[in-house]
Amino acid sequence: MTVTFTRIVRTADGGSAFEDAEIPLTRQRVADGMPDMSVGGLPSAGGVSFLRGAPFDSAPHPAPREQWVVMLRGTIEVRVSDGTARRFGPGDLVLAADTSGAGHVTTGVGEPPFEGLFIPVR
């Protein structure tokens, strides 16, 4: 059993691209009195941030650090340097790993607010 996520990576030419990846899940008890649940690890460091934003359209930018983006509310569209775009909404996992180069463009889509958790990897 796995959960899928999208990784945004830097390409050899300094651009960015999407990669699909999976996190393995295992069934385990997380607390007494609770049924077994599917659990998978997200490598992380301290400093989780909650963000809430109004409508926006970013300039091209690399990720400020390698970080997980966990969408909680609203929808964003991310466009990588080859023009490919993907939309991410509540429950989607994105690993922004393009910390150098041309980066990506992020746009809020639909009704705000846009809310997410940013979880640094290192």
Tens of pLDDT, residue by residue over 60-105, are 999 999 999 999 999 999 999 999 999 999 999 999 999 999 999 9
Domain ranges of the chain: 2-120
Question: What count of other Cβ atoms lies within 10 Å of the Cβ of residue 112?
Answer: 15
Q: Is the pTM of this model over 0.95?
A: no
- Collect all residues with Cβ–Cβ distance below 8 Å to 28 and sequence separation of at least 6: 36, 37, 39
Half-sphere exposure of 30 (CA within 13 A, CB side): 9
pLDDT at 57: 87
Report whether CATH 3.40.50.1450 matches the domain 2-120. Answer: no
